[in-house]
Amino acid sequence: MNNEPRGLTKLKQVLINDKHFNPERLNDVVSSDIFKLLQNYMEIDNSDMMSRIDLDEQGNYVLRCKVKCKRLKIMGLLS
């Protein structure tokens, strides 16, 4: 009996069938975009951020992101 969640098993099957899809590359691109966005609002380094894209049991993608920031950047007031 397979102990993996159904979503993970399904993802592996899809990835085997579609060799052009690279989930690690997608995660790298999404992480890079999020990191650049967050740098506008907080002082962070690459090592302060962890992100991962997973599949849940219903087959939906879930983005998990954890960021440790040294400080928030001061924002100007809107007029």
What is the tally of structural domains in the chain? 1
Determine the structural domain holding residue 41 and report its residue range.
Answer: 6-71
Note whether residue 1 is domain-resident.
Answer: no
From first to last of its 79 residues, what are the pLDDT tens digits of the chain?
556 677 787 777 776 666 556 677 888 889 999 999 999 999 999 999 999 988 888 878 889 999 999 999 987 765 5
Note whether residue 57 is domain-resident.
Answer: yes
Note whether residue 79 is domain-resident.
Answer: no
Spatial contact of 70 and 39, defined as CB atoms under 8 Å apart: no
Note whether residue 36 is domain-resident.
Answer: yes
Note whether residue 77 is domain-resident.
Answer: no
Distance CA 38, CA 69 (A): 9
Q: What confidence score (pLDDT) does residue 68 get?
A: 95
Note whether residue 59 is domain-resident.
Answer: yes
Note whether residue 24 is domain-resident.
Answer: yes
Cα angle for residues 58, 27, 6 (degrees, 5° grid): 25
